Chains A and B, each alone.
Chain A
Amino acid sequence: MPSLLEVRELKTYLTTSQGVVKAVDGISFDVREGETVALVGESGCGKTMSALSIMRLIPRPQASIVGGEIRFQGRDLLKLGEEEMRRIRGAEIAMIFQEPMTSLNPVLSIGRQITETVEAHHPLSKEEARSRALELLQLVGISDPAQRLAEYPHQFSGGMRQRVMIAIALSCRPKLILADEPTTALDVTIQAQLLELMRDLSRRFGVALVIITHNLGVVARYADRVNVMYAGKIIESGTATEIYRAPRHPYTMGLLRSVPRLDQPRKSKLEPIEGQPPDLWNLPAGCSFAPRCRFVVEKCAQEAPPLRQVEDSHHSACWVAETLTQ
């Protein structure tokens, strides 16, 4: 299948009081049409910045994209004008955010927040836009949609708001949805419902999905392919099966041991990864995971390992990827 999105050597840096933060430091990954790709990593590793870079919505003036390409359907998004980019946002690439409680405008009705999206991209009449909104609310499983359209965000629970966000994301039938930790803020049963809903709808409409998460459990169930991020870089990538069966990076192995797994006995111990993620403005020379790594060798402190192939589609950025043992 052809690639829908090709991110190449994307670099997004932030200027802060501490210095330059390399929030995204040369990442490359692909998303093919209709597939679900996960972007996994600990808090602060640059997941949100990567997604915002694709939308070209990084916070200004602190952040800037200093290099790389983001090709969407063959066009480099970084070369588009503001108006061209606007026509892509919401219509071709939609985004769902991490914080359901604050991502909807408190003073506009739910209906308005859906119809305005449709109206920004299609010449629809008021009634057409409204019936579209009604249809969308039904689609995401909100009961009594006609009444709910006139209501405001504060009358919705977190899970319901995230359903509204999904409705908004789907409203213009985009090719790609970037979902930035869409369920992190919600409780576990609601998380599962929402993820199921997103999977079903993305399959039904053939939408490709980038799920950003720090929860590998989510990845296992829903993603076709996985990119593991650490300190602004992708350090391992492959199909979900490859990464689950035989992780080829000590960080991924650590992540897997730190979450409960369905394919392991209940009693097996959960171990958090020791140490803290590095400060992105003050990265160690060599591999940035080396200070926390159990398998560290001399070379790790001197030279950063490049992402290289270890199996068919399995890539790892570790000098000793082949010799790692569980």
Chain B
Amino acid sequence: MHQYILKRLLLMIPTLLGVAVLVFLMLRVAPGDIVELKYAGTGAFAPKEVLDQERAQLGLDKPLWHQFLSWMWGIVRFDFGNSMWTGRPITYEIWIRLELSLELALMATLVAVLLSIPLGTLAALKQDTWVDYFVRIFSIAGLSIPSFWLGIIIILGFLIFVKWLPPLTFTSFWVDPKANLTQLIWPALAVGYRYSAVATRMTRSAVLEVLREDYIRTARAKGLWERVVLTRHALKNALLPVITVIGLEFAFLIGGLVVTEQVFNLNGIGMLFVESITRRDYTMTQALVLLVSFSFIFVNFIVDLLYAWLDPRIRYQ
């Protein structure tokens, strides 16, 4: 098992390297560069020499392989360089936003888990009754309503009915938990509801399938309480596929909440991502893509560990 973990961790390196090469090349294939955009923004005409000088300062005049290697060399020393746009260290720019994004992703996932597992199980147990129909409509609605729209409705609802708005500036949970939660709970609900939909349907079908298994009949034949049959025997097996869905959703939430962040005026990783792409901020975009890829790989790894923990057939392979 230890060997397996070590192997998985080492395997992350080639994957991330591949991602790095890809994003590095793709960014440079896109038309326009950061220097042009900067000057175009000012409206002033800049002679070619000025632009070239600016490029040289950012190291963009060097050959591609040189740029790539110096980027890699930096990463090996945990130095991601500075943002080409703001000039501030990338680690700093990401760090101040990561807390918010990570917390929002965690809270939204928690909302999704708390909604989907009980609801999905309930729907399976009451298959084809009004409870089941209600849960199915509830989850289909979650899939069909974009979470930013739900976010807007929440905000409008507050404005119109209670003349109150969630705080607009981010306060760290460690500084003031109450202010922090009153700000983040609303986007977390909007996003969590949407992401519960897939997991709810998954839980429902997994529980239905597991309840038809022979070992459930065995468990009942042993005279176990129905509650034990459900939790110890059915849910433990049914949750395996659900964990994968939830894990991948969590990884996506870290970098993917662009519109929701806009609606709730949150300065998170999603916003930073879009901004740095439109600005052709190469160093920043590269670092963010690596961060998001790493989250996906890491979450996958955690999901596999959970699998092994829950399922002995995998553990003993």
Contact = CB atoms under 8 A, between A and B. Distances in A.
Contacts of B217: 57, 97, 103
A89 B221 contact: yes
Most chain A beta-carbon contacts within 10 A, residue among B213, B220, B226: B220
Interface stretch (B8-16, B98-106, B196-204, B231-239): B231-239
B218 A103 contact: yes
Contacts of A69: none
Contacts of A91: 223
B223 to A, nearest CB: 3
Contact of B223 (A90, A99, A103, A165): A90
Contacts of B214: 97, 99, 102-103
Interface residues on B, range: 20 to 34
Interface stretch (B116-124, B177-185, B306-314): B306-314
Interface of B: 213-215, 217-226, 228, 232-233, 236-237, 310-313, 316
A109 B310 CA distance: 11
Interface of A: 55, 57, 82, 86-91, 94-95, 97, 99, 102-109, 116-117, 120-121, 152, 154-155, 165, 168, 172
A249 B9 CA distance: 70
Given A90-B222, A117-B222, A105 B233 contact: yes
B214 to A, nearest CB: 4
Do most interface residues of chain B lie in helix, strand or loop, or is the interface mixed?
Answer: helix
B210 to A, nearest CB: 10
B237 A106 contact: yes
Given A102-B214, A105-B215, A108-B233, A117 B223 contact: yes
A97 B219 CA distance: 11
Contacts of B226: 82, 86
B239 to A, nearest CB: 10
A106 B312 contact: yes
| The 9 A-B residue pairs with the shortest CB-CB distance in the complex, in nearest-first order | A90-B223, A89-B223, A90-B222, A152-B312, A102-B214, A105-B215, A117-B222, A95-B221, A103-B214
A152 B313 contact: yes
A107 B310 contact: yes
B219 A105 contact: yes
B215 A116 contact: no
Given A87-B223, A107-B312, 20 more contacts: A55-B221, A57-B217, A57-B220, A82-B226, A86-B223, A86-B225, A86-B226, A88-B223, A89-B221, A90-B223, A90-B224, A95-B221, A103-B217, A106-B215, A116-B232, A120-B222, A120-B224, A154-B312, A154-B313, A165-B218
